[in-house]
Copies of this chain bind each other. A is one copy, B any other.
Amino acid sequence: MVVRQSDRPGHLTPPKCYVSQELLDLAKKTSSATVSGVLTGIGFRFIYMAGVHPVRPGSLVVGRAYTLRYLPRREDLTANGPDRQSYPQTLAIESLGQGDVMVVDARGNTEAGIFGDLLVARMQYRGAAGLVTDGALRDTPFLRTNTFPCFVKGAHGYGHPSQHWAADVQLPIACGGVLVYPGDLIVGDDDGVAVCPQALAEEVVKRAVEQETHELYARDLITEGVPINEAHPPFSQEREAAYQAWRHARGL
């Protein structure tokens, strides 16, 4: 079951553009730096999560955002623990599907782990694409040897109720200093995590793939001794021809 926010006065209405699995596969050929570079090039400057890094260095996360909002713990709510059936955390995890990335607004608070090994294992079983939070995770001794991509600000041994209470799902949230709508495209790696508005995902990913190809070629040029100013596009006419030949030879 996916709980979605209805359109109501006084609230932001989430957009409805679905990012396809094909586009996700294409996005895996890019990086968070290139995707954010394309977005800043068209005027965006609040689309990159600061200080959110993979538990396992070298991880890549690409998927559609599924949002979960945590609020600070308060004892009148948490005295008896969450109701297992209706607790938004449980709803969120049991709603995730192929290509979804759980994005958890933890308000930058790293004084408790938002999830541990069992919840991560469950998301992994359901085929989710990864987890991104501006909070912490617990059980990192397990998670850093596991392949499921987890992006966090820190690690902590406490369980989430020490600091948090899951409030709702699929609202637009803040995470790592940027706005995330349910369904936005997430691309994260060692640099951090880029959030691409879903309505722009196709255009941005295609331009990013193009740019990655450019940069691969530029790196080749630099290895051969070409100075920075000549290796960066836009190329001279001659260089452009050489570039097209290079691409053709590699099928890019």
* Residue positions of A touching B, CB distance < 8 A: 1, 3, 6, 8-12, 31-33, 35-37, 40, 43-48, 50-51, 53, 57-58, 60, 71-77, 84-86, 88, 90-94, 107-111, 113, 116-119, 121-122, 125, 138-141, 144, 154-159, 162, 165, 167-174, 177-179, 189-192, 194, 197, 199-200, 215, 218-219, 222-223, 225, 227-229, 231-232
Contacts and interface: CB of A to CB of B under 8 A. Distances in A.
B53 A74 contact: no
B159 A200 contact: no
Nearest to A55: B190
Given A51-B110, A157-B191, 11 more contacts: A3-B10, A10-B86, A10-B92, A10-B169, A31-B157, A46-B75, A48-B156, A48-B157, A90-B229, A94-B227, A107-B107
A3 B12 contact: no
A179 B141 contact: no
A55 to B, nearest CB: 9
Nearest to A140: B190
A162 B71 contact: no
Contact of A200 (B58, B76, B117): B76
Contacts of A88: 10-12
In the complex, the count of this chain's copies comes to 6
Nearest to A154: B51
Nearest to A192: B157
Contact of A219 (B1, B94, B118, B174): B118
